[in-house]
Amino acid sequence: MFSKAMISLFSISLGLFVSAGAWADSHHNGHDLVQDVHKAGTRIEFEEDQDEVYEAVREGYIRPFSEMYAAVENDLHGRIIKVELEEDDDIWVYELKINFQNNIIKVEYNAETLDMLKIEGRNFKNAIKHGN
């Protein structure tokens, strides 16, 4: 009787352990965690693997796409056509390409603070929203 109870307890524990591991794996995708919204026509690239991105999001070094999109919409005219997320010298950076009046504007945002770090491209000054 004792051994049947132990076997049952072991089987249940093993089942819970395996289930918990599968759940954690399915919710441990850093790329999905940061890409909380999808915009049609925007190409997304991640330079770092999903485990690094997951840890950076958990530690607050990367803000999700929804917040980044809101910051860009507040700062700039145009449509985001490409987003890259990469780590550069221990700073996470969103590198964006924005189409504004048929010109491609390249913009970098700090992924933690969402401060604009760099902007370049033909007539980029016209893409900047004033009065914010």
CB neighbour list of residue 38: distance below 8 Å, 6 or more residues apart: none
Q: What is the pLDDT of residues 25-84, one digit of tens each?
A: 444 666 666 666 677 777 777 777 778 888 888 899 999 889 999 999 999 999 999 999
Residue 18: give its domain's CATH number.
3.10.450.40
Backbone φ and ψ of 95, nearest 5°: -105, 120
Number of domains the chain is built from = 1
The pLDDT confidence band at residue 111, using thresholds 50, 70 and 90, is very high
Considering the domain boundaries, does residue 132 fall inside one?
no
Considering the domain boundaries, does residue 83 fall inside one?
yes
**What would you report as the CA-atom Rg of the chain, rounded to the nearest whole angstrom?**
21
> Reading across the β-sheet that carries 103-110, which strands appear in turn?
43-46, 79-88, 91-100, 103-110, 116-120
Local structure of 61: helix, strand or coil: coil
Considering the domain boundaries, does residue 18 fall inside one?
yes
Q: Which domain holds residue 44?
A: 2-127
pLDDT value, residue 31: 63
Please check whether residue 121 is in contact with residue 103, taking contact to mean a CB–CB distance below 8 angstroms: yes
Considering the domain boundaries, does residue 29 fall inside one?
yes
Residue scoring higher pLDDT (18 or 63) = 63
Residue 8 in this model has a pLDDT that exceeds 80: no
pLDDT value, residue 3: 55
Q: What value does the mean pLDDT of the chain take?
A: 79
Residue scoring higher pLDDT (24 or 96) = 96
User: Taking the alpha carbons of 63, 33, 27, 46 in that order, is the dihedral positive or negative?
Assistant: negative
CB neighbour list of residue 94: distance below 8 Å, 6 or more residues apart: 68, 83, 84, 85, 108, 109, 110, 111
Considering the domain boundaries, does residue 13 fall inside one?
yes
Q: Which of 15, 20, 24, 50 is nearest to 35 (CA)?
A: 50
Per DSSP, helices labelled H in 35-119 are: 50-58, 65-75
Considering the domain boundaries, does residue 44 fall inside one?
yes
